[in-house]
């Protein structure tokens, strides 16, 4: 009876995970989906604890300490640091799975060496293979996520780090890892040094996979590492024979791969390029030097243009996150609507440093969901827009991606703000974006540069409307 109730609890938790994941695909239901998934996880944890006798004191203490650390970190992290925060959490998921696999091996290596079987265990080769896969994926996820965190947090350079023969080294390490895996599965109790070597190789592969990723392509690697963390959790579910862990890990792994493909399409990259490293590198090619003279504009002059506009599109980017300008942007949008303008917010899939970064910021500012439009929806009508206001975005609106075959981002789909009748670009300077490519948008005839902190600049526009 007890086992039946636990199995039913696992089924209920799995259903809630699937429903929650479905809700997360829509901004209107995302918060509810998060709650539904959390309830499912609570059911799964309680059912697992009741499945067998455990040292509940240690478990409760560990959960309390971990929950306290995680809660404080989540409350204190600014929105500008959310991408590296997510990368770090992916890494924690990977190392947790690795440690589960290692602990399972340590628990069984003695009986295996003595030729004894643990009651209830699957065949030795099956369990050994599951442990090995858990270690490999968990190790790659952990070290790769730490590199992604370091790049996003500015601890190391965001530029691709390459060396001669890098792909050959990666391939050799993969072959060595596979060879170690075969020998380990054939004799899991007698090749402990190879087991440790495999852990070191996995950690090294994670580093070598992440360092060639260029800064502008970090949203892709974030998705991929998220998928890896799910696959590692799934593999650890096979290790400890926990069905709900297998299901939840599979869901995270599959959804992460789907999101990775979406991000690859948005960056015009191939998934193969991501998996084998070198993403964001184009053989050392650089953009053709951009020539021209930027045309600055004051907030007062920009006001007169906006006051006469019948349609305005905001295009947010990482600069908006840095300036924490989302609330004042919403206020300006509401003023423009009251003035008779149609207002929309065009979101590029990889704007910011992680998928959905801009959506989260605008949702935090209570921007109506129906005003958010995707790149593919705004581009066909962008030439009818009176004013496009670019707030801290750079690479995702860079016309060089359409025009300069020699630049690193050539072929990447962009929001064609240069086709709007007038384009205001809010930036502190004419510096290039995260990809390091100069932006000819700044020098177009219909572009005006409103220099300064984005929040201050937008607030100045709001003030102009209120005082006039």
Q: Are 310 and 257 members of one domain?
A: no
d(CA 1, CA 244): 19
pLDDT at 288: 54
Q: Which of 57-61, 68-72, 84-88, 384-388 is most confident?
A: 384-388
CA 294 to chain CA centroid, nearest Å: 34
Containing structural domain, residue 380: 299-467
Residue 222 in any domain: the answer is: yes
Q: Are 329 and 180 members of one domain?
A: no
Residue 2 in any domain: the answer is: no
Q: Are 145 and 237 members of one domain?
A: yes
How many domains, the chain? 2
Q: Are 448 and 398 members of one domain?
A: yes
Rounded mean pLDDT of 18-47? Answer: 88
CA 262 to chain CA centroid, nearest Å: 12
pLDDT at 228: 92
- Integer-rounded Cα Rg, in Å, for the chain is 25
3-state secondary structure of 427: strand
Q: Is 383 a catalytic residue?
A: no
d(CA 67, CA 305): 51
Residue 142 in any domain: the answer is: yes
Q: Are 225 and 329 members of one domain?
A: no
Residue 30 in any domain: the answer is: no
For 118-133, the DSSP string reads -TT---HHHHHHHHHH
Q: Identify the active-site residue in 53, 383, 386, 395.
A: 395
Residue 129 in any domain: the answer is: yes
Residue 155: pLDDT band (50, 70, 90) is confident
Straight-line distance from the first to the last Cα atom of the chain, in angstroms, rounded to the nearest whole number: 74
Residue 36 in any domain: the answer is: no
Residue 61 in any domain: the answer is: no
Query: Which of 275, 290, 318 is a domain's end point?
Result: 275
Q: Supply the mean pLDDT for the chain.
A: 86
Q: Are 260 and 343 members of one domain?
A: no
Q: Are 229 and 331 members of one domain?
A: no
Rounded mean pLDDT of 38-60? Answer: 82
Whether residue 349 contacts residue 414, with contact meaning beta carbons closer than 8 Å, is answered with no
Q: Are 127 and 81 members of one domain?
A: yes
Residue 285: pLDDT band (50, 70, 90) is very low
Judged against a pLDDT cut of 90, whether residue 380 lies above it is answered with yes
Q: What's the pLDDT tens digit per position in 411-425?
A: 888 999 999 999 999
Q: Tokens 């102009």 — which residue?
A: 464
pLDDT at 160: 76
Residue 389 in any domain: the answer is: yes
Q: What's the pLDDT tens digit per position in 303-337?
A: 999 999 999 999 999 889 888 899 999 999 999 99
d(CA 431, CA 444): 16
| 467 burial level (CB within 10 Å; 0-12, 13-18, 19+) | exposed
Q: Are 344 and 432 members of one domain?
A: yes
Contacts of 79 (CB under 8 A, 6+ apart): 321, 324, 360, 361, 364
Whether residue 210 contacts residue 148, with contact meaning beta carbons closer than 8 Å, is answered with yes
Q: Are 115 and 165 members of one domain?
A: yes
Q: What's the CATH code of the domain at 450? A: 3.40.50.1220
Q: Are 192 and 82 members of one domain?
A: yes
pLDDT at 270: 73
Q: In the chain, pLDDT over 90 holds for what percent of residues? A: 45
Q: Are 383 and 455 members of one domain?
A: yes
Query: Which of 241, 275, 309 is a domain's end point?
Result: 275
pLDDT at 282: 46
- Predicted TM-score of the model (pTM): 0.81
Please list, residue by residue across 80-116, b when 16 or more beta carbons sit within 10 angstroms of its beta carbon and e when fewer do: bbbbbbbbbbbbebbbbbbebbbebbeebeeebeeee
């Amino acid at each position: 009876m007890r086992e039946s109730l636990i199995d039913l609890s696992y089924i209920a938790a799995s259903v809630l995970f699937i429903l929650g994941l479905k809700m997360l695909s829509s901004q209107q239901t995302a918060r509810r989906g998060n709650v539904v998934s959390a309830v499912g996880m609570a059911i799964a944890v309680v059912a697992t604890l009741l499945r067998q006798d455990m040292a509940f004191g240690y478990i409760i203490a560990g959960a309390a300490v971990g929950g306290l650390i995680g809660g404080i970190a989540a409350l204190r992290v600014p929105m500008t640091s959310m991408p590296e925060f997510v990368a770090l959490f992916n890494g924690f998921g990977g190392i947790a799975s690795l440690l589960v696999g290692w602990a399972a091996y340590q628990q069984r290596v003695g009986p295996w060496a003595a030729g004894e079987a643990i009651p209830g265990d699957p065949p030795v080769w099956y369990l050994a293979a599951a442990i090995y896969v858990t270690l490999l994926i968990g190790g790659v996820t952990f070290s790769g996520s730490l590199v992604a965190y370091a790049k996003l947090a500015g601890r190391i350079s965001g530029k691709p780090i390459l060396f001669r023969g890098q792909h050959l080294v990666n391939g050799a390490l993969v072959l060595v890892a596979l060879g170690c895996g075969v020998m380990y599965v054939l004799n899991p109790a007698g090749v402990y040094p190879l087991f440790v070597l495999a852990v070191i190789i996995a950690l090294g592969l994670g580093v070598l996979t992440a360092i060639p990723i260029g800064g502008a392509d970090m949203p892709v690697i974030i998705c991929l590492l998220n998928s890896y963390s799910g696959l590692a959790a799934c593999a650890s579910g096979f290790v400890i024979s926990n069905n709900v862990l297998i299901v939840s890990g599979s869901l995270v792994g599959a959804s992460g791969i789907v999101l990775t493909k979406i991000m690859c399409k948005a960056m015009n990259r191939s998934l193969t390029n991501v998996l084998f490293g070198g993403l964001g590198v184009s053989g050392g090619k650089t953009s053709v030097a951009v020539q021209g003279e930027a045309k600055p504009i004051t907030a007062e002059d920009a006001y007169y243009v906006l006051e006469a506009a019948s349609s305005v599109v905001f295009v947010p980017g990482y600069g908006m996150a840095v300036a924490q300008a989302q609330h004042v942007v919403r206020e300006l949008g509401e003023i423009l609507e009251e003035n008779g303008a149609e207002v929309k917010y065009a979101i590029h899939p990889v704007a910011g440093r992680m998928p959905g970064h801009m959506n989260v910021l605008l949702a935090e500012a209570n921007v109506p969901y129906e005003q958010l439009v995707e790149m593919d929806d705004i581009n066909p009508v962008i030439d009818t827009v009176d004013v496009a206001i670019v707030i801290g975005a750079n690479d995702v609106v860079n016309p060089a991606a359409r025009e300069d075959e020699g630049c690193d981002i050539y072929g990447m789909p962009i929001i064609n703000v240069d086709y709007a009748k007038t384009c205001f670009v809010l930036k502190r300077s004419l510096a290039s974006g995260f990809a390091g490519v100069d932006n000819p948008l700044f020098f177009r005839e219909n572009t005006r540069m409103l220099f300064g902190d984005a929040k201050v600049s937008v607030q100045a526009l709001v003030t102009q409307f209120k005082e006039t």
